[in-house]
Amino acid sequence: MKATILSAFRKVDNASFSLRKVGLTAVLLQALVLGLTYSLLLFNPGKYLTSDHYDGTKSYFSIATFLQQPMGDGMLVRGHNYPFGEYMYYTDSAPIVVAPLHALVQAVPALAPYGLYIYDLFILSSLVISTGLLVLMLHRLGLPAWFVVLLSVALPWLNPQAVRLNVGHMNLTYTPAILFVLWRLQVLYAAWRAGAPLARQFVVLLVGIVLAAWIHFYYLALMLGTMGFFVLVLLYQSVRAGRPWRPLLLGMAGVAVGAVALTWGLLQALDPRIHERPVGSNGYDWIEWRFQFTALFKGYVYNKVQFPLERTSGVPYESSAYLTSFVLFGLLLVGVLLLLKRLPAEARLPQPSADATEGFLQCLLLACVPMAFIALGENIDLDNGNYVLHNYLNVFRWLHKVTDRVTQFRALGRFIWPFWWAVVLCFSWYVARWRFIPRLRWALLVLVALLVVDTVNATHFYRTQAQAPNLLRTSDDSPVRTLLGWPAKGRYQAILPIPFYHVGTDWSDEPTNLNLDPDDPLCNTTYQLSMVSGLPLMAHKAARAITGQAEALYSVFQPGGPSPALLERLDQRPILVYLDTAYYDGRNNYYRDMLRDRPTMRAVFERAPAFIQEQHMVRIAHQGSQSLYEWFPKGQPTPGPASR
């Protein structure tokens, strides 16, 4: 029996597959896995989304309202932050995808109900594209065909970006952005070793980085940083070996300047409000957004196989970077065998040689180590904060002394992603050699089984937790529609939710903190009201919001009413005010608890009932704890008693 299994193993290993056949097999298999995992969403167009909470609904709402707007509005999203609106670049909504999608649904109105579905197809297709990129990389690493297929299908589900779907960060799940830069660095390395011209390689890198940055601007820093450190390693090796180094330096500089100009520079021209936005950003180096080293050993909620050395406390989602059972148990085995002096000589790492595969992996790992130091933050807390280790190896620490703009990349934990891929790719190449070592061949089979188990558990999790009914698509008998009724089109100019929320501004200390995060059910209900009525929200959730706009909107709740500047922007039509009294009568203490230590914003929250009375609003609908009022901010034509 043993001989039969080993014989089959060798036959599969020695199978002569072309790159095209391997790639086609892996892509088709990934498409099948994707179809089974996201069957509800994929085969019921428009009825399901990947997220129904937190930032996910915010992005979906921004896209949905934007797609309904006329093309003449440009990239301004009018669905929230009324009467100012907000530009698509600050709503986590992939401008490079949503802009052409907007043109498509405007040109073909029949596609309008499926706008979010098409967007989700783009996001989910990243799994298949990642598989294709991994095949190209792993094939160059000399891995056997069966192992290439397995890794290229499994790893896209297990990498740290995938878990962002669970918090609604759809654009940050676009794994091809990171894999693209790693693949092109692999091609660049081969050209450099061969002494071939490098200009074409740098041009391709530039195009890829710019396109990915307009999906999410964090990719600009992640991809440029990885490329920059990789080229620095090559520069060192070139100088040491007496090889030409100027093409590397000029290429790196050209990509950096070009990418920054076509992303950040272009944003300066496209955003007419750029001068109102702060240079820096709050939250930079916050411990919850820094990478925590022990997260490498903390399994995700779906992992059934637990690593013996595992972190017991939870991991902030920005630190998610579990190295998989495949890698961790493999490293544990190697460590035990080394300790016992039983690791076969064939399994030891070879000395640096002329082999391009080993050279690339060495350069990649060296280049990604500085990225890991960035992820750890400027300071590393030890012993529950009793000691602080100043991270002088963090490049951002020194850039921060020059400019506050570096703090725009405040979620530092994301910089661990290239390092995660470098470790997994290096280990995959190393462990693939075990198939030639009789004493470790069975260990390889066990690690492969662990990889399959993790992948099965991951896909089950996403099938059950990352598919939700499309809450922005409500039926005629939904509670929101029952409450709202069928108001005359054009009667109202906007919706004012109470409790009010506005998220995304920066602050210097607590009294200046204008951010008021909504309770998720309340936020979702207001989004539904907006979609059903076609009215924009005065509330807002975005990034890098303008403080002056938030102050103007909060002035609504002042005893004297809205500021003159805000009134100037409003027209004569009434505003539809939505009130949920559950947050004021003790049934839901979300805001009271959240604002316990924030007296300024608590006062805004508690002013709402008095605001309704002072403005002589008329209640026009009531359902449970929810009510709708008419408010004439510029004066009520026919004043009436306020409803009780």
Short-list 192, 215, 212, 213, CA closest to 202: 192
- CA 385 → CA 291, 380, 470, distances in Å? 15, 9, 43
State the Cα–Cα distance between residues 134 and 180, nearest whole angstrom.
9
Could you tell me which residues come within 8 angstroms of residue 543 by beta carbon, excluding any fewer than 6 positions away? Answer: 90, 91, 92, 504
My answer on whether omega of the bond before 639 falls inside 30° of 0, hence cis, is no
Q: Report the pLDDT value the prediction gives residue 355, as an integer from 0 to 100.
A: 65
State the Cα–Cα distance between residues 12 and 386, nearest whole angstrom.
55
Q: Report the pLDDT value the prediction gives residue 449, as an integer from 0 to 100.
A: 97
Give the sign of the dihedral formed by CA 72, CA 76, CA 79, CA 85. negative
The tokens for 329 are 């148990």
CB 51 within 8 A of CB 40: no
pTM: 0.93
CB 435 within 8 A of CB 144: yes
Strand ranges (E), 152-208:
none
Q: Report the pLDDT value the prediction gives residue 643, as an integer from 0 to 100.
A: 42
DSSP 403: -
- CA 260 → CA 185, 267, 365, 405, distances in Å? 19, 10, 25, 13
Helix (H, G, I), strand (E, B) or coil at 168: coil
The tokens for 200 are 């074409």
- Taking 70 as the pLDDT cut, the residues of the chain under it are 1-17, 350-355, 383, 636-644
State the Cα–Cα distance between residues 80 and 549, nearest whole angstrom.
12
CB 237 within 8 A of CB 193: no
Strand ranges (E), 259-386:
379-382
What are residue 541's DSSP bridge partners? 503
- CA 250 → CA 221, 238, 242, 246, distances in Å? 19, 14, 17, 6
Short-list 145, 130, 636, 623, CA closest to 421: 130
Angle (CA) 54-531-640 rounded to 5° is 110
State the Cα–Cα distance between residues 11 and 589, nearest whole angstrom.
65
**What angle do the packed helices 199-213 and 218-241 form, to 10 degrees?**
160
Phi-psi region of 616 (alpha: psi -120 to 50; beta: other; left: phi over 0): left
CB atoms within 10 A of CB 20: 9
**What angle do the packed helices 199-213 and 246-260 form, to 10 degrees?**
20
Could you tell me which residues come within 8 angstroms of residue 177 by beta carbon, excluding any fewer than 6 positions away? Answer: 212, 215, 216, 219, 222, 223
Dihedral pair phi/psi, residue 353, rounded to 5°:
-135, -170
- CA 304 → CA 298, 324, 541, distances in Å? 12, 11, 36
Short-list 137, 142, 248, CA closest to 184: 137
Q: Report the pLDDT value the prediction gives residue 644, as an integer from 0 to 100.
A: 40
Q: Say if residue 628 is exposed, middle or buried (CB neighbours under 10 Å; 0-12, 13-18, 19+).
A: buried
Q: Report the pLDDT value the prediction gives residue 304, as an integer from 0 to 100.
A: 93
Angle (CA) 587-167-383 rounded to 5° is 90
